[in-house]
Amino acid sequence: YEIYLNGMTGAVPRLPTDLTRLAEVAEHRLPPGPVGYVAGSAGDGSTSRANRAALARRRIVPRMLRDVAERDLSTEVLGRSLPAPLALAPVGVLKIMHPDAESAAARAAAARGVPYILSSASSTPMEQVAREMGDGERWFQLYWGKDREVTRSFLARAKAAGFSVLVVTLDTQLLAWRPRDLDQAYLPFLHGVGTANYFSDPAFQAGLDKPVHEDLKAAVLHFLGLFGDAGHTWPDLAFLREHWDGPIVLKGVLHPDDARLAADAGMDGVVVSNHGGRQVAGSVAAADALPRVAEAVGDRLTVLFDSGVRTGDDVFKALALGARAVLLGRPYVYGLGLDGQAGVEHVIRCLLAEFDLTLALSGHARPGTVSAADLVEDPV
């Protein structure tokens, strides 16, 4: 009711409360290169559209008279108690959106008790983000590149800085064909954004002939050269397992057999995700892959979900399709670009308020009771 009460003095929210509208507002107000990078997708955008369509096709069947007067959104994920089944997805290069970049997003997450997943490709070094978060729950996302020493160093730094869960992104060994960025010849990394963890890393610096500040171009090229490794295979995960003693979650898993391989490799969870449609054009929609993965490994692994989550009912549907919690991507990035930390908090609060209402109005007092029985699938 806070928004309605504020309205009694004439105040209305600065950003839309329908979070599906943020993209359109961002397109109007933010510069074309950066907003194109965030909004853009692989190929003709069909995977991004499919992500939304797969969620839209599922419809909730609300149940009545179930006493939902007292509700509790808290959820246990990977041994942690979270206030809601939500975390902020790892999104790199946030300085293209706002000068406060990852720091603002991380502070917003900490203020709301939501885990913040810091990207390897952040524009702010992980130690600084950790300081800004105090004891806020933080996870570290690894781009698993070619240089083992850099990987080892990142894991040690992340551990020392209090990041508790390691999220290893598997779907970005190479950067996909992204026409919006290609047409504008715009890649944030070439503008020196997204390299902060690398440039500040002793193992990375050891691979350079000259210090970063003396030859920035050589440093950027070195970064691009080691950023992804398309040669990795499942047995290589043993290296990460050996160097990280907390939970490890593999992000970008879409096939049930890959989820089984993740469990066999001693992983703790998977994120069913197609990177928001930014990697494989023509890929299966994340929400269509989710129930199959959950069925295959739901009893062995923590199954998380992202790609297409925009609203409270999307969160509900993801839980019904088998996810334990969801990661929020582009909406909080637009919130950041449009209004800094306050914009990210607006997005988190709207999403959770809408989820709380969806839950209650559908007949649930807790996320844990939501199941496949709450959904029907619309004919296409």
Q: Does 247 bind ligand FNR (CB under 6 A)?
A: no
Residue 284 touching ligand FNR (CB under 6 A): no
Contact status: 188 vs ligand FNR (CB under 6 A): no
Stretch that binds ligand FNR, among 58-66, 271-279, 346-354, 362-370 (CB under 6 A): 271-279
Beta carbon of residue 314, minimum distance to ligand FNR (angstroms, whole number):
9
46-57 vs 286-297: helix axis angle to the nearest 10?
A: 70
3-class SS string, the chain: CHHHHHHCCCCCCCCCCCHHHHHHHHHHHCCHHHHHHHHCCCCCCHHHHHHHHHHHHEEECCCCCCCCCCCCCCEEECCEEECCCEEECCCCCHHHCCCCHHHHHHHHHHHHCCCEEEECCCCCCHHHHHHHHCCCCEEEEEECCCCHHHHHHHHHHHHHCCCCEEEEECCCCCCCCCHHHHHHCCCHHHHCCCCHHHHCCHHHHCCCCCCCCCCHHHHHHHHHHHCCCCCCCHHHHHHHHHHCCCCEEEEEECCHHHHHHHHHCCCCEEEECCHHHCCCCCCCCHHHHHHHHHHHHCCCCEEEECCCCCCHHHHHHHHHCCCCEEEECHHHHHHHHHHHHHHHHHHHHHHHHHHHHHHHHCCCCCHHHCCHHHEEECCC
Q: Is 169 annotated as a binding residue?
A: yes
As beta bridge partners, residue 166 has 140, 248
> Is there binding between residue 47 and ligand FNR (CB under 6 A)?
no
Has 275 been annotated as catalytic? Answer: yes
* From 83-91, 197-205, 231-239, 240-248, span contacting ligand FNR (CB under 6 A): 83-91
Compute the least distance from the CB of residue 74 to ligand FNR, in Å.
Answer: 23
Question: Is there a binding annotation on residue 303?
Answer: no
Shortest spacing between CB 239 and ligand FNR, in angstroms: 19
Q: How many binding residues for ligand FNR (CB under 6 A)? A: 21
User: Which candidate in 98, 222, 243, 275 is catalytic?
Assistant: 275
Q: Quick one: CA dihedral 125, 127, 132, 133, positive or negative?
A: positive
Residue from 178, 222, 330, 364 touching ligand FNR (CB under 6 A): that is 330
| Cβ at position 3, least distance to ligand FNR in Å | 24
Per CB under 6 A, does 87 bind ligand FNR? no
Stretch of residues binding ligand FNR (CB under 6 A), selected from 15-23, 201-209, 306-314, 348-356: 306-314
Binding mask 151-170 for ligand FNR (x = CB under 6 A): ------------------x-
Cβ closer to ligand FNR: 47 or 341? Answer: 47
Cβ–Cβ contacts within 10 Å for residue 161, how many?
18
> Is 330 annotated for ligand binding?
yes
Per rule CB under 6 A, is residue 124 in the interface with ligand FNR? no
Nearer to ligand FNR, 38 or 281 (CB): 38
The interface with ligand FNR within residues 90-119 (CB under 6 A) comprises: 90-92, 119
Looking at residues 203 to 242 of the shown chain, list those that interact with ligand FNR (rule: CB under 6 A): none
306 is in an annotated binding site: yes
Residue 38 contacts ligand FNR per CB under 6 A: yes
Residue 149 CA to residue 208 CA, distance in Å, equals 13
Residue from the set 147, 288, 306, 345 that interacts with ligand FNR by CB under 6 A:
306
Count of alpha carbons within 13 angstroms of residue 46, beta-carbon side: 8
Candidate segments 57-65, 75-83, 85-93, 346-354, binder of ligand FNR by CB under 6 A: 85-93
Residues that bind ligand FNR (CB under 6 A): 37-38, 89-92, 119, 121, 141, 169, 251, 273, 275-276, 306-309, 329-330, 333
Q: Which residues are catalytic, by number?
A: 275
